[in-house]
Structure 1
Amino acid sequence: MISAPSDFVGTSPELVTKFLKVVHEMNDKWNSGAAAQTEMLPVIAKDAGMDLPAAKSMMAGFKFLSTADSLGPVWMGGGVQKNLKDVADFFVSTGNVKKALSSYDDRVNAGPLKATSAM
């Protein structure tokens, strides 16, 4: 999940879309298999300040979604919005917040990710 302030996304949609395009290209590369992962791991380890075994162990705990999966019903196509609503309702029930929104559909902007397909 990648999040950004709505003001930034609104004023820099092309930059956000380009960033998401690169992120998902790298996700797809990682997901393509062991050869790509072997190529990518030394760079990941170096950039993270880790040794190779630690980086490999860390990366084993991650899942990288395709663009289609990210936009699908489990994630940005409804799942994230439902989860936000469920969490907000829970916070209302515990007294942490006074009121939840009736819907969080407008709080998730999939536009920049959808736009990556046109690049």
Structure 2
Amino acid sequence: MTANDHSLLTTIEADYRSNHMYWIERKLNKRFERWFRNRTSYEINDLLAERQIHDLQVEIFAYYNKLDYEPVTRLSPALYEKWITTIIMGWLMRKSVSCWSKIKMASARA
């Protein structure tokens, strides 16, 4: 990664945290809720998980394309994909902690 790529990613990350994170995670949360609506248990196999991760990537690509956010267009395809993966992994970590907290609270009440 060049110094220019690093500074570009730093700019994009700062903009993401201050401007885009809320809207992107809102879209991802809606997608997540659609997957698990009206079910109390769900078995996720590798193929389903892969498809769902792909759907999340598409949501983020669509967000940036609709926004026509210029710094992202200057990233190489590999760095763009790495950035999208970083967003998804961060969201998944926060979502899993949130889900486990809800499960723990529900089991404590029972």
TM range, smaller chain:
0.3 to 0.5
Give the helix-richer structure, 1 or 2: 2
- TM-score scaled by length of structure 1: 0.35
- TM-score scaled by length of structure 2: 0.37
